Amino acid sequence: MHPTITAFESSPDRGRGQARDMRVRWALEEVGQPYNVRLVSFKAMKEPAHIVLHPFGQIPTYEDGTLTLFESGAIVLHIAERHAGLLPDDANARSRAIAWMFAALSTLEPPVVELGMAMLFERDRSWYAERLPMLQDRVRVRLGELSRRLGAADWLDGAFSAGDLMMVTVLRRLHTSGLLDEYPDIAAYVARGEARPAFRRAFDAQLAVFTAASRS
Ligand code: GTB
């Protein structure tokens, strides 16, 4: 039996691969693990059958045999630990790759999401024009630091790892902000991630859900 993940039945991003099932799909594609997808509506996500899988009534979840997981970071780490290809064999390098996963989720993602939410939901607020530059600057600080660390390298620490996978999925959320244009090396890093065949397969799979839903 293949693992089953959950994803939006109708993603608000219209198939742009911004929802967090994308990182789980990408990880599964990188390691060559086939998977099933159960699509859930916003209503179903808040019902007991889903809450038992995810206490906060969200996607993605992951079910494999007797194991049920929620939180995209925990799911990607689980996949990376059980398959070759996303974490180095060397113990120290492995820990550093995991540190980059945490950095993506706890240092980069909060200001990136804060900016994205403001741009989506706060545009008509009186204080938007004043708040926007502050939110942009918080992201710029992290992009500058990341750019310095990345230098001329292709990936954050040696070969592509789950740390890069997580970082690229977080940085992709900046596509509509224009901020990636200010950091050509970071933009190129994101483009390298998006060019990976496993990324393309994962992206196409989630886009197919949106395309099918918009036809029906
Ligand atoms: N920390 C959790 C994780 O990493 O798994 C966060 C999970 C989460 O935020 N899930 C969202 C969800 O289920 C979907 S990904 N939301 C429904 C709810 O909370 O009721 C967040 C997301 C949604 C939509 C877009 N978009 O349209 O661009 C981008 C990201």
Q: Which tokens is 82 given? A: 């059980």
pLDDT band at 11 (very low <50, low <70, confident <90, very high): very high
Substitution candidate for ligand 1 out of 18, 58, 68, 171 with most atoms within 8 A of CB: 58
Cα of 90 to ligand 1 centre, how many Å? Answer: 33
Torsion, Cα of 203, 205, 206, 210 (10° steps): 120
Q: Is the pTM of this model over 0.95?
A: yes
Which residues are registered as beta bridge partners of 88? none
Q: Which atom of ligand 1 is nearest to the CA of 72?
A: 5
Q: Is the CB of 142 under 6 A from ligand 1?
A: no
Distance CA 148, CA 57 (A): 38
How many other C-beta atoms can be found within 10 angstroms of the C-beta atom of residue 215? 6
Q: Is the CB of 33 under 6 A from ligand 1?
A: no
Residue-wise pLDDT tens digits, 89-121: 999 999 999 999 999 999 999 999 999 999 999
Q: Is the CB of 204 under 6 A from ligand 1?
A: no
**Residue 213 pLDDT > 90, yes or no?**
no
Residue-wise pLDDT tens digits, 149-194: 999 999 999 999 999 999 999 999 999 999 999 999 999 999 999 9
Can you tell me whether residue 79 is helix, strand or coil? helix
Range(s) of the chain covered by CATH 3.40.30.10 = 4-85+198-215
**Helices 91-102 and 162-171, packing angle to 10 deg:** 20
Going by CA atoms, what residue is nearest to atom 18 of ligand 1? 58
Range(s) of the chain covered by CATH 1.20.1050.10 = 91-196
Going by CA atoms, what residue is nearest to atom 6 of ligand 1? 71
Can you tell me whether residue 148 is helix, strand or coil? helix
Q: What is the pLDDT of residue 30?
A: 98
pLDDT band at 85 (very low <50, low <70, confident <90, very high): very high
Q: Which tokens is 109 given? A: 């993602």
The CATH code belonging to domain 91-196 is: 1.20.1050.10
Domain covering 4-85+198-215, topology: Glutaredoxin (3.40.30)
Going by CA atoms, what residue is nearest to atom 12 of ligand 1? 58
Asked, as a colleague might, if the bond just before 60 is cis with ω within 30 of 0, I would say yes
- Calculate what percentage of the chain has a pLDDT beyond 90: 98
Residue-wise pLDDT tens digits, 12-65: 999 999 999 999 999 999 999 999 999 999 999 999 999 999 999 999 999 999
